[in-house]
Amino acid sequence: MAVWQVQDAKSRLSEVIEEAHSEGPQIITKHGTERAVLLSIADYRALTAHKPDLREYLLGGPKVDSFEVKRERDTGRKIRL
């Protein structure tokens, strides 16, 4: 991934867009700190293609059909009240 300072990215925006299209994501920094990523539309669509709804997300977890809890028959100690 190429790294661009924000002022360079602003002045050479067409080049940054072409690089994102041909080379992949482009990181944009401000004062040496990563602040943004420019993606090609194809990369963006691949990331956002499948967003499960809440029901799908909750039902998509591990299956526990044969889940069994073993409990001890011990009722604890006797106390005097």
Tens of pLDDT, residues 42-51: 999 999 888 7
Per-run averaged pLDDT (10 residues), the chain, 81 residues: 95 97 96 96 92 84 79 84 84
Nearest in space to 31 (alpha carbons), one of 5, 4, 2, 1: 5
Q: How far is CA 73 from CA 50, 55, 66, 70, 78, in A?
A: 48, 37, 21, 10, 14
Residue-level pLDDT at 68 = 81
Residue-level pLDDT at 72 = 84
Whether this prediction's pTM lies above 0.85 is answered by no
Tens of pLDDT, residues 5-16: 999 999 999 999
Ordered domains of the chain (ranges, CATH):
2-59 (3.40.1620.10)
